[in-house]
Each structure stands twice: as C-alpha cells, then as structure tokens.
Amino acid sequence: MKSLADIRFLITAGPTREFFDPIRYISNRSSGKMGYAIAEAARAISSAVMLVSGPTALTPPKGVEFVPVTTAQEMAEAVWSRFEAVDVCIMAAAVCDFRPKKTAASKIKKGSFSGVLELEPTPDILAELGRRKKSQVLVGFAAETDDLESNAREKLVRKGLDFIVANDTSAFDAETNRVAFIGHEGKVERLTELPKSEVAKAIIERAVRLVR
Ligand code: CTP
C-alpha cells in the first residue's frame, strides 16, 4: 500500500476551445470550478498533483503543477504523456466532443462565410486512457440532461473507468454540485447537494481507497 502523501494525481479541468478562425471558437459553459476543487483536495494530501486545465478565470491552487492548454488536442497530448507516471487520474474537464474541420488562417469575413460550420470528432481522451491503463485509478465525469445514471453506467464500462461521477448539467458554472458515484459494485452512491469543495473531497477519498 502506498502512503497517502506518495499518491501522484493527474486532474483535468475546464472547457476546451476549438477554433474555426484565429479569433473564433466553439466551447461550452464549464467554469473549471469542480476540477480546481479536486486538485485542491488532492493537494491537501499529496504534493504530487498536476492540473491540466483549459481556459478558465480561476487561479490554480498553490503547490500544484499547472499545465494550461486550449484545445482538446492539446489536452489529449498533455494528459496522455503524463498518464503513465501517475496513480490516480480524474478527468473533470468538459472536453469539446467536436471541433471545426478547418481552421481558417485569417478572420472569416461575413460576406464570404457560407453559414455552415463542418465539424469532426475530437479524440476521446478518457477512452484512450482506459485502453492504456495499468494500475492507475481512472475516474470520469458524466454530465447529462437525461437518463443520468444509465448513461453514466454505459460510460463507466465503455471508457474502462474505476468509477464515474454523474452530475446533471445544472452544475455547470455553479458553486455546488449534486453527484452520484457509480462503480462496478452495482450500487449507486448518491450525495446530497454540497459545495464543490466537499464533493471534491469525497471524490479524492473514494479514488484513494482504490489505489493499489
Ligand atoms: N471526455 C474526454 N474526451 C472527450 C470527451 C469527453 O476525455 N473528447 C471525458 C470527459 O472529461 C468526462 C467523460 O469523458 O470525464 C464523459 O464526458 P461526456 O461528454 O459526458 O461523454 P461523451 O464521451 O462525450 O459521450 P456523449 O456525447 O455520448 O454524452
């Protein structure tokens, strides 16, 4: 058994941005608050915490190795290259699922825009980690508007996770979160609505129990 202070964490947070010209992008409402709170909770027990974050308005917690990224592709490279050296990886980032097929080199002029933006899928960072995983504890999030628990359970299996944190989309940009943990034991652990700092502690506690 590793001592708590020796556990190495990799946490992701925030949205990604997918550009279609030098100044315009598609993104989502993620504030990064949940991921930053998780990094802070991890830092309270270990000094080996890396935070890979998309653009947010937040200040990274003190003592955390901070890796800023912008796009899903950059986040994928930052995470995949660090994964082998950690014990716990928690993907709280709201990675854009799609990106524009082309990024124009100069600002698209109103008059020359067709009105159609062609998109292609971004890499599924977490699913790839699930394939590469050895002894790491791998945790994902599922933000859903409908059928939260059944969708989350499907992602748990498809992405090779140890457990998944299911929350409804009202948590986006909020100070609190109401989550359920779904693991392989079949039983759903539902938490009451709590500040994100408390949810973060519960996630870290559960992940740490699974470290081999
Ligand atoms: N995720 C990821 N890479 C992506 C998309 C999502 O690593 N390109 C991660 C998220 O960080 C989260 C988990 O996968 O931990 C679930 O994300 P979600 O968007 O809910 O699931 P999707 O795989 O996008 O599935 P769907 O669009 O069917 O809901």
Residue 145 has a CB neighbour count (10 Å cut-off) of 9
Pocket test for ligand 1, best of 77, 90, 91 (most atoms within 8 A of CB): 91
Task: Give the torsion through C-alpha atoms of 134, 5, 74, 140, to 10 deg.
Answer: 60
Q: CA nearest 11: which of 81, 93, 132?
A: 93
144 band by pLDDT with thresholds 50, 70 and 90 = confident
Residue 21 Cβ < 6 Å to ligand 1: no
Q: Which atom of ligand 1 is nearest to the CA of 159?
A: 14
| pTM attached to this predicted model | 0.96
Q: Are 48 and 85 in contact (CB under 8 A)?
A: no
Helix, strand, or coil here: 168? strand
**How much distance in Å is there from the Cα of 142 to the middle of ligand 1?**
7
Which token pair is 133? 């995983």
Residue 120 Cβ < 6 Å to ligand 1: no
CA distance 51 to 21: 28
pLDDT per residue as tens digits for the range 146-177: 888 889 999 999 999 999 999 878 878 889 99
What's the pLDDT score for residue 26? 98
Judged on CB neighbours under 10 Å (0-12, 13-18, 19+), 87 is buried
Q: CA nearest 90: which of 54, 132, 44, 36?
A: 36
Which token pair is 96? 């854009």
Residue with the nearest Cα to atom 22 of ligand 1?
97
> Which positions are catalytic?
28
The domain made up of 4-100+118-209 has a fold known as Rossmann fold (3.40.50)
**How much distance in Å is there from the Cα of 95 to the middle of ligand 1?**
7
CA distance 85 to 2: 14
H or E stretch including 152?
A: helix 148-158
Considering the chain, what is the average pLDDT of its residues?
Answer: 95
Q: Are 148 and 180 in contact (CB under 8 A)?
A: yes
CA distance 97 to 29: 14
Q: What is the DSSP letter of 58?
A: P
What's the pLDDT score for residue 162? 97
Residue 13 Cβ < 6 Å to ligand 1: no
Residue 97 Cβ < 6 Å to ligand 1: yes
Which token pair is 163? 């457990």
Beta strands 18-21 and 24-26, pairing class = antiparallel
Residue with the nearest Cα to atom 27 of ligand 1?
97
pLDDT per residue as tens digits for the range 36-92: 999 999 999 999 999 999 999 999 999 999 999 999 999 999 999 999 999 999 999
Query: Which amino acid would we find at residue 1?
Result: M
**How much distance in Å is there from the Cα of 81 to the middle of ligand 1?**
19
Residue 118 Cβ < 6 Å to ligand 1: no
Residue 124 Cβ < 6 Å to ligand 1: yes
